[in-house]
Amino acid sequence: MSEKKKLLVTGISGLLGWNLFHAAQDRFDTYGTHNTIPIPDADDHVLCLDFLDGMELELLVERIAPDVVIHTAAMTRPDTCEREKELAYQVNTEATKRLATVCHRQGARFIHISTDLVFDGQKGEPYEPDDCMNPLGHYADTKRMAEEAIPEAISNYAIVRVALMYGRSMTGDRGSTERVVNTVRDKNSVTLFTDEWRTPILVDDACAIALGLTDVDATGTFHAGGTERITRYAFGLRLATSAGFDPQTIVPGSIHDFQGSPPRIPDVSLDSSKTTTLLGLHLNDIDAGLARLYPGP
């Protein structure tokens, strides 16, 4: 029997990392890192690591000697990144560069998770992987800088730009969809925008794409968006209905009325056909994805 390859997933206390860590167990000898949130029933394959500690990061990768690293860990809240600019740069850009460099030195394949928000949302049709990045907020800018640094650090890499993700996390409060459901569960309303377009993807499908990219030696940038382009408002209505809440808790608004920072991006829909064709994947549409999360009575 052949030995399983070693996979290191960073950020396993987060939405994507947690799902990836579990989805990969059958195929890989899987290791995972977390930072501030403890992992229940952790064994010696679960490691606590702050990406700000560059030396510890390098030692950890050298000790595990993974064949593949999937890097999901990041500061992911755009508002926090605006407030903590240098910290966000260190975690999202500098630590990613360092991880890519140590992967190159160790001969590991590096799969980096990026975001649809590297685009400015003005194209008016779904973005393809070669379209120009023009991020409008600091979070997205730190992800852009990481994307640009990776090809200089390592040749065996894939960058996966993920769209708005929906699914269940370990902590139950990660990602915008869990936050919407938690708010309406508390009988509060949520304003979502009728002019903010996305291609939401079920977290299981994002995992299938990231894991699929471990099997091929394709290099470059890949999109991971769902099959439907929809507004955040329309998606929120379907989410609330599937989760068994009154759709009237979802209130329509416009990005033009949004006062916060960074600005809301109108349309970062992704064309993911290059990815699904390469990997031979059929992704869930929104009804199928929501039915998996909320199977009903």
| Residue range at the interface with ligand NAP (CB under 6 A); choices 111-119, 127-135, 215-223, 262-270 | 111-119
**Residue 76 touches ligand NAP, criterion: CB under 6 A:** yes
Q: Tally the C-alpha atoms within 13 A of residue 195's C-alpha that lie toward its C-beta.
A: 11
CB of 1 to ligand NAP, least distance (A): 32
Number of residues binding to ligand NAP, judged by CB under 6 A: 28
**Residue 8 touches ligand NAP, criterion: CB under 6 A:** no
CB of 91 to ligand NAP, least distance (A): 4
**Residue 232 touches ligand NAP, criterion: CB under 6 A:** no
Residue 67 or 84 having the CB closest to ligand NAP: 84
**Residue from the set 8, 164, 207, 210 that interacts with ligand NAP by CB under 6 A:** 164
User: Per-residue contact track with ligand NAP, 263 to 292, x per CB under 6 A?
Assistant: ------------------------------
**Residue from the set 23, 60, 72, 136 that interacts with ligand NAP by CB under 6 A:** 72
Please name the amino acid found at residue 26. D
- What angle separates helix 203-215 from helix 286-293, to the nearest 10 degrees? 110
**Residue 113 touches ligand NAP, criterion: CB under 6 A:** yes
Residue 4 or 45 having the CB closest to ligand NAP: 45
**Residue 293 touches ligand NAP, criterion: CB under 6 A:** no
* Residue ranges binding ligand NAP (CB under 6 A): 11, 13-17, 34-37, 49-52, 72-76, 91, 113, 115-116, 162, 164-165, 174-175
